[in-house]
């Protein structure tokens, strides 16, 4: 599996990644290092599950190797990234903070399909109203 983010991790600094119950269950089933969800998530002020940060980085980020330790089991939001949904503009866009956006979503059709999938994820799994 290719990891275009290898040797970067900018998005893992002070992450605010929201995760779904399905993400949590998947991580608990696949990642033997984690037995309880409270080891890697917390409920934020909006009552959504969010990945924890440890020493300023996502709990799953290895600062020494600069890679995600659960890359193949990472949450849906991380899989979509750098594609994000801007709640204020009500549209999908590439996150300006990502230094490698040129490696992702180069095809307009792929961008549109992933945007539709991201919106479905927000509505169905996170129960976020984006209309």
- Chain segment 44-99, per-residue pLDDT in tens: 999 999 999 999 999 999 999 988 999 999 999 999 999 999 999 999 999 999 99
Q: Please say whether the beta carbons of 37 and 24 come within 8 A.
A: yes
What share of the chain has pLDDT > 90, as a percent?
76
Question: What is the C-alpha separation between 121 and 23, in angstroms, rounded?
Answer: 11
Please indicate, yes or no, if residue 61 is contained in any of the structural domains: yes
Please indicate, yes or no, if residue 5 is contained in any of the structural domains: no
Q: Please say whether the beta carbons of 71 and 1 come within 8 A.
A: yes
Please indicate, yes or no, if residue 130 is contained in any of the structural domains: no
Please indicate, yes or no, if residue 4 is contained in any of the structural domains: no
Q: Is residue 35 scored above 90 in pLDDT?
A: no
Q: What is the mean pLDDT of residues 28-45?
A: 91
Work out how many domains the chain is built from and give that number.
1
Range of the domain at 39: 10-124
Please indicate, yes or no, if residue 84 is contained in any of the structural domains: yes
Mean pLDDT score of the chain: 92
Provide the whole-model pTM: 0.89
Please indicate, yes or no, if residue 74 is contained in any of the structural domains: yes
Q: How far from 49 is each of 31, 35, 63, 115, CA to CA, in Å? A: 18, 17, 23, 21
Q: How far apart are the first and last CA of the chain?
A: 35
Please indicate, yes or no, if residue 26 is contained in any of the structural domains: yes
Which long-range CB contacts under 8 A does 24-30 form with residues at least 24 apart? 24/49, 26/73, 27/70, 27/73, 27/75, 30/70, 30/73
What are the pLDDT digits (tens) for 98-120?
A: 998 888 888 899 999 999 999 99
């Amino acid at each position: 599996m290719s990891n275009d983010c290898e040797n970067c991790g900018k998005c893992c600094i002070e992450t605010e990644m929201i995760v779904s119950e399905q993400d949590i269950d998947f991580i608990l089933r696949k990642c033997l290092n984690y037995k309880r969800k409270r080891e890697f998530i917390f409920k934020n002020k909006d009552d959504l599950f969010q990945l924890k940060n440890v020493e300023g980085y996502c709990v799953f980020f290895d600062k020494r190797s600069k890679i995600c330790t659960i890359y193949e089991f990472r949450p849906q939001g991380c899989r979509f990234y750098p594609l994000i949904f801007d709640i204020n503009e009500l549209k999908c866009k590439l996150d300006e903070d990502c230094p490698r956006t040129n490696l992702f979503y180069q095809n307009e059709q792929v961008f549109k399909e992933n945007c539709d999938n991201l919106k479905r994820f927000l509505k169905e799994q996170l129960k976020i109203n984006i209309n």
